[in-house]
Amino acid sequence: MKTCPLILTLLCAACNMTVTDANDSAPEKQTKETASRPSAPAGDPYAFVILPEPVGAPARADRVLQAQVALDRAGFSPGVLDGKEGMSFSTVLKGFQEARGLPPTGQYDDATAKALLGDRPPPATWLVKIPAAFARGPFYAIPRDLNDQAKLPALGYRNLLEKLAERFHTWPEALVALNPPNSRIGPGATVRVPAIANQPVARIEGDERGWGATLASLAVARDQPQADHIVVDKSDGVLRAYDADNRLIAQLPATMGSQHDPLPIGTWEIKGLSRNPDFHYNPNLFWDAASTDQKAVLKPGPNGPVGVVWIDLSKPHYGIHGTPEPQLIGRTESHGCIRLTNWDAARLAQMVKSGVKAVFQP
């Protein structure tokens, strides 16, 4: 599989943010404010301390981002949380409205806002302090060629900015926009992020590949509602999960198929799940593979071709999986598989099991 041209590596140089690692950050100046800050829970590198808003700070107008965060929490993912309206926002609103018995207009009207936010609207963003352990890495320079990727010990994040963005269900460009120019991104730094809550590292029996830590790193709860069946709808570009009573319990934006590798329309079945999987690259299965490509095994990681999870289907060589480029979900093509953001793929992996029916429709 050939990956799309990567743009994330350009962001640190072009986005007016300074990224440091755990070894070269300057100590934060001690003040009355910093001395009173709570410390992160001991031993959990994924737990961020939420800091109070500065006294006298002007109120933020993040209406769309507030809705996106609340939708994400409810299991109706808008994809990357970026505060922008558009087709993805309208589509996820329709799904939420359907699930709540509201007219599926796709408009963010007062009734939808009331159902989504309740009487005490949650914040759109909050300030957090980056834990030193979270900032430590390791980080990797990821080559585009898959045979070169196979030489790496893991396919982890390229830098702290990318890792931080995925933790808060967004992408680097959107994270940059939330913060002042020339903000420092490093251990102990204070940054504004979408208000996605911490999740503890789940203890999972037989977890040899660190899935509990992966869930925490993506702020995905281990316990999710269980899906009886899923529907992949090509016309809407979404994956929907339904419970045994045929109630819509989750909707996730997806990339699915292309002219060369169309979505396999029909009824299939989930055969199994591989969390933090190795990727077995076979160039014979891809029409766009280079003639010099060789079979290879790529190590796990969020920047691998299938991201953090592979959900195997009864259709040979097809599956549902994550991606190293969440900002492109719904905007590019795939090799016939169903591609989700890493955090949505991780969430779905906690909702399904072997034997779950998967309906792919035009």
Sheet with strand 125-129: strands edge to edge: 49-51, 125-129, 190-194
Instruction: Please determine, for residue 319, whether its predicted confidence score (pLDDT) is greater than 90.
Output: yes
Amino acid sitting at position 46 = Y
Q: How far apart are the C-alpha atoms of 211 and 199, rounded to whole Å?
A: 13
Calculate what percentage of the chain has a pLDDT beyond 90. Answer: 73
Instruction: Please determine, for residue 79, whether its predicted confidence score (pLDDT) is greater than 70.
Output: yes
Poorest-pLDDT segment among 23-37, 88-102, 197-211, 237-251: 23-37
Task: Write out pLDDT tens, residues 45-72.
Answer: 899 999 999 888 777 879 999 999 999 9
Instruction: Provide the pLDDT for residue 22.
Output: 45
Burial of 285 (0-12, 13-18, 19+ CB in 10 A): middle
Instruction: Please determine, for residue 182, whether its predicted confidence score (pLDDT) is greater than 80.
Output: yes
Instruction: Provide the pLDDT for residue 332.
Output: 55
Average pLDDT of 153-172? 97
Average pLDDT of 261-275? 93
Burial of 237 (0-12, 13-18, 19+ CB in 10 A): middle
Q: How far apart are the C-alpha atoms of 16 and 70, rounded to whole Å?
A: 29
Average pLDDT of 237-260? 91
266 vs 331, more confident = 266
Instruction: Provide the pLDDT for residue 57.
Output: 79
Instruction: Provide the pLDDT for residue 30.
Output: 33
What the block records as the tokens of 124 is: 């759109």
Instruction: Please determine, for residue 105, whether its predicted confidence score (pLDDT) is greater than 50.
Output: yes
Instruction: Provide the pLDDT for residue 26.
Output: 34
The size of the chain, in residues, is 362
Q: How confident is the model at residue 186 (pLDDT cuts 50, 70, 90)?
A: very high
State the chain's mean pLDDT as an integer: 86
Tell me which residue of 316, 304, 298, 311 sits closest to 338, measured CA to CA.
311
What are the structural domains of the chain? 229-361 (2.40.440.10)
CB atoms within 10 A of CB 176: 21
Tell me which residue of 1, 6, 42 sits closest to 327, measured CA to CA.
6
Task: Write out pLDDT tens, residues 352-362.
Answer: 999 999 999 99
CA–CA–CA angle 245, 249, 253 (5° rounding): 135
Q: What count of Cα atoms within 13 Å lies in the side-chain half-sphere of residue 303?
A: 26
Residues 6+ apart with CB under 8 A from 327: 79, 80, 171, 173
Task: Write out pLDDT tens, residues 277-310.
Answer: 999 987 777 655 677 878 889 999 999 999 999 9
Q: How far apart are the C-alpha atoms of 76 and 99, rounded to whole Å?
A: 10
Distances (CA, A) of 33 to 47, 53, 160, 195: 20, 12, 25, 22
With beta carbons less than 8 A apart as the criterion, state whether 171 and 150 touch: no
Instruction: Provide the pLDDT for residue 33.
Output: 34
Instruction: Please determine, for residue 39, whether its predicted confidence score (pLDDT) is greater than 60.
Output: no
With beta carbons less than 8 A apart as the criterion, state whether 279 and 324 touch: no
Q: What count of Cα atoms within 13 Å lies in the side-chain half-sphere of residue 282?
A: 4
Q: How confident is the model at residue 17 (pLDDT cuts 50, 70, 90)?
A: low
